[in-house]
């Protein structure tokens, strides 16, 4: 109680306020030069995100305007709570796919309920400082999941690229549907998608070249040309959408049919409403909030974890490049608030986007305020130009998604696993293949397979064996702390050694053992009884941890069966080593070789050797 009073008394309200709202820290040094960088990057990403979000809406199974609604507020919220100047929070491919799979009603309100609940989970994780939960998701498992999700997303866009009728909802069904209709495409949609893909591929290739490298020797015309090429590269998705829309509108005004269009979008901003309410889906089924939550199931835990891992990975990557720190706990809180606020405006779950974050960085962003600028661009788009969006060809939207999918495919990770540790391909493949069945099943199965592999490594105790005193004594060293999965293997290994080795004294070095569970102690106790029958002696010595020593005493492991030796840290420091110098040879002034025999209770000691060296020096 006294400690609680002291904590309350020493609580710094101002420091907590600055931690909760990072904007209050960096806004004090804000100036026009930072505003210029934020306006340029925020506007560039705003132009980029509008056609992207409309494309992602079709992937999530929602009307196209809800893609824009999902991008309306996250930038503003992240500007207040976020700690990365580069991360762009908004709708992404993976979150769109998750929304489609988890929100089975395919109703906008169901997606908003999902976003609100996930936001609450993220905020609670931030309050309880559970940022370390990301460490429980192995990188290779996440890589397998993302690559499989990318292929799943690609399969959903085949009908848009070729202009087919609506395809089945499962992966295998879509592939079968594609090959049964491959000779009957909509020629207009196919030509449009090919042209868009060629455009996007060219500018993606061009973006890899050093066309915008700054140089003081460049002329003004050269600098203008480089900046123009740079803009064409980073805004390629928006530009291809504009060009495709212009072509589709030309078809429309000339009464030419053939292109499949996105459809009419309502003009204006959405009215805010509380997301937790009942709704009626297209199949006339009425969903209450508990009904929706029961359908979400374990996704309410899995999805926030994936969101956070994706966002914090992006934030830390750019923080390392541009030399600034990112607060993981605060990022949890910022991401949670972005989802909660967005749910009031019809948004679905959002997280950080690597492609848009890269554009932010390349555009010269200076602070998180550029997210607010991005939102202002989207506000303008919703209020004034949404009627134009109805002429966007679906083939162009599918082409944009396919090009985004290419960046998600991770080929290097399985190659690296094959070169370094092939056994880790098992959880990778489990996550990869399981994702085609069910998104959350892939992640869970991959993590479980990785856990099983980790436990299986514990089944074999790490022991090193040496002989001393003319093979009368054998020393067993634990190279790591043994745990309960390996107790039987441990017992069998030592018993086999006792039966086969002529040594009469078994010396067990406990220096590397820092904790022991009950199963290991119980096994060691039964082991001593077995060794007594063999008329041999086992000695536990060189304890480095007092708790381990106390556990041995409490279990009555010392007595006439075994001999227990324990040296505390203080005893080691105060002990008078009995040193017998056998040979001292000085090779040169820079290297001294000293051969010593150190006798400390019948045991060689490296500490004693070092003490001798210190004395000779």
User: What is the domain class of 463-574 according to CATH?
Assistant: alpha beta
pLDDT at 609: 44
pLDDT at 111 over 70: yes
pLDDT at 465: 81
Residue (of 85, 89, 90, 46) closest to 365 by Cα position: 85
Residue (of 511, 457, 515, 521) closest to 487 by Cα position: 521
Q: Which pLDDT band, with edges at 50, 70 and 90, does 4 fall under? A: low
- Cβ proximity of 393 and 192 under 8 Å: yes
Q: Where are the domains of the chain?
A: 2-270+312-410, 428-458, 463-574, 578-616
Calculate the average pLDDT of the chain: 83
- Cβ proximity of 211 and 230 under 8 Å: yes
pLDDT at 242 over 80: yes
Model confidence over 465-495: pLDDT tens digits? 887 766 678 888 887 888 887 888 888 888 8
pLDDT at 599 over 60: no
pLDDT at 602: 40
- Name the residue with higher pLDDT: 1 or 114: 114
Q: What percent of the chain has pLDDT over 90?
A: 38
pLDDT at 575: 45
Maximum mean pLDDT: which of 454-458, 584-588, 604-608: 454-458
- Cβ proximity of 349 and 275 under 8 Å: no
Place of tokens 């020797």: 217
Place of tokens 């292929």: 151
With 0-12 CB in 10 A as exposed, 13-18 as middle and 19+ as buried, what is 409?
middle
pLDDT at 262: 85
**Least confident interval from 523-527, 546-550, 553-557, 606-610:** 606-610
Model confidence over 496-539: pLDDT tens digits? 877 777 777 888 888 888 888 888 888 888 888 888 777 788 88
Place of tokens 């989207």: 378
- Name the residue with higher pLDDT: 611 or 234: 234
Model confidence over 190-235: pLDDT tens digits? 999 999 999 999 998 888 775 545 555 567 888 888 888 888 888 8
Q: How far apart are CA 544 and CA 307, in angstroms?
A: 42
DSSP 389-438: HTT-BHHHHHHHHHHHHHHH---HHHHHHHHH-GGGHHHHHHHHHHHHH-
Model confidence over 273-307: pLDDT tens digits? 999 999 999 888 899 999 999 999 888 988 998 89
Q: Which two tokens stand for residue 301?
A: 């835990």
Q: Which pLDDT band, with edges at 50, 70 and 90, does 81 fall under? A: very high
pLDDT at 1: 64
Model confidence over 378-406: pLDDT tens digits? 999 998 888 898 899 999 999 999 998 88
pLDDT at 211: 53
- Name the residue with higher pLDDT: 519 or 600: 519
DSSP state of 385: I
Q: How far apart are CA 71 and CA 341, in angstroms?
A: 11
pLDDT at 440: 78
**What predicted TM-score, i.e. pTM, was given to this entire model?**
0.78
- Name the residue with higher pLDDT: 24 or 533: 24
SS (H, E, C) 122-171: HHHHHHCCCHHHHHHCCHHHHHHHHHHHHHHHHHHCHHHHHCCCCCCCCH
Where does 461-602 show beta strands of DSSP type E?
463-468, 473-478, 505-509, 537-541, 563-564, 578-586, 592-599
pLDDT at 566 over 70: no
pLDDT at 13 over 90: no
Q: Which two tokens stand for residue 490?
A: 């441990």
Q: Which residues contact 253 (CB under 8 A, 6 or more apart)?
A: none
pLDDT at 564: 44
Mean local confidence (pLDDT), 335-349: 96
Model confidence over 142-151: pLDDT tens digits? 889 989 989 9
Residue (of 212, 134, 164) closest to 394 by Cα position: 164
pLDDT at 56: 94
pLDDT at 73 over 90: yes
pLDDT at 538: 80
- Name the residue with higher pLDDT: 21 or 6: 21
pLDDT at 486: 83
Q: Which pLDDT band, with edges at 50, 70 and 90, does 136 fall under? A: confident
pLDDT at 470: 65
pLDDT at 320 over 80: yes
Q: How far apart are CA 488 and CA 427, in angstroms?
A: 26
């Amino acid at each position: 109680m006294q400690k609680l009073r002291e904590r309350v008394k020493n609580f710094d309200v101002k420091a907590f306020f600055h931690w909760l709202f990072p904007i209050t820290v960096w806004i004090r040094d804000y100036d026009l030069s930072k505003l210029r960088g934020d306006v340029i990057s925020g506007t560039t990403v705003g132009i980029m995100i509008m056609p992207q979000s409309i494309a992602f809406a079709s992937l999530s199974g929602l009307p196209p305007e809800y893609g824009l609604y999902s991008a309306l507020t996250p930038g503003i919220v992240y500007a207040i709570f976020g700690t990365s100047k580069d991360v762009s929070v908004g709708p992404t491919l993976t979150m769109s796919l998750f929304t489609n799979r988890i929100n089975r009603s395919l109703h906008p309100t169901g997606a908003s309920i999902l976003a609100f609940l996930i936001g609450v989970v993220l905020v609670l994780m931030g309050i309880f400082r559970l940022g370390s939960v990301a460490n429980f998701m192995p990188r290779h498992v996440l890589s397998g999941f993302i690559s499989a999700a990318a292929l799943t997303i690609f399969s959903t866009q085949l009908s848009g690229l070729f202009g087919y009728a609506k395809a089945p909802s499962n992966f295998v069904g879509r592939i079968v549907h594609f090959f049964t209709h491959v000779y009957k495409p909509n020629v207009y949609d196919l030509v449009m998608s090919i042209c868009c893909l060629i455009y996007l591929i060219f500018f993606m290739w061009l973006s890899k070249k050093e066309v915008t490298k700054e140089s003081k020797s460049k002329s003004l015309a050269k600098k203008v040309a480089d900046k123009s090429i740079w803009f064409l590269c980073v805004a390629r998705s928006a530009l291809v959408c504009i060009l495709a829309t212009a072509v589709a509108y030309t078809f429309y005004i000339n009464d030419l049919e053939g292109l499949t269009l996105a459809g009419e979008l309502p003009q204006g901003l959405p009215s805010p409403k509380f997301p937790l309410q009942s709704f009626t889906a297209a199949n006339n089924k009425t969903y209450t909030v508990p009904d929706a939550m029961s359908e979400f199931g374990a996704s309410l835990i899995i999805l926030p974890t994936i969101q956070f891992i994706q966002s914090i990975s992006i934030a830390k990557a750019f923080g390392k490049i541009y030399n600034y720190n990112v607060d993981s706990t605060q990022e949890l809180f910022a991401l949670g608030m972005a989802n909660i606020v967005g749910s009031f405006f019809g948004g679905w779950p959002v997280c950080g986007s690597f492609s848009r974050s890269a554009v932010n960085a390349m555009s010269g962003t200076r602070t998180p305020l550029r997210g607010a600028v991005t939102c202002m661009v989207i506000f303008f788009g919703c209020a004034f130009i949404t009627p134009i969006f109805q002429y966007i060809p679906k083939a162009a939207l599918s082409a944009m998604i396919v090009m985004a999918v290419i960046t998600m495919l991770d080929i290097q990770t399985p190659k690296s696993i094959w070169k370094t540790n092939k056994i880790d391909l098992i959880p990778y493949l489990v996550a990869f293949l399981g994702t085609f069945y069910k998104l959350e099943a892939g992640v869970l199965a991959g993590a479980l397979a990785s856990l099983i592999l980790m436990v299986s490594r514990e089944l074999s105790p790490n022991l090193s064996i040496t002989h001393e005193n003319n093979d009368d004594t054998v020393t067993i060293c634990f190279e790591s702390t043994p745990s309960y999965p390996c107790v039987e293997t441990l017992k069998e290994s030592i018993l086999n050694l006792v039966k086969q080795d002529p040594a009469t004294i078994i010396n067990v070095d406990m220096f590397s053992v820092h904790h022991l569970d009950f199963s290991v102690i119980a096994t060691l106790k039964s082991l001593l009884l077995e060794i007594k029958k063999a008329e041999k002696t086992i000695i536990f010595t060189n304890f480095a941890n007092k708790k381990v020593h106390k556990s041995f005493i409490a279990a009555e492991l010392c007595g006439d069966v075994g001999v227990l030796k324990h040296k505390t840290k203080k005893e080691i420091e105060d002990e008078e080593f009995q040193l017998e110098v056998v040979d001292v040879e000085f090779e040169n002034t820079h290297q001294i070789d000293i051969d010593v025999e150190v006798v400390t209770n019948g045991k060689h000691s490296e500490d004693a050797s070092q003490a001798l060296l210190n004395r000779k020096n």
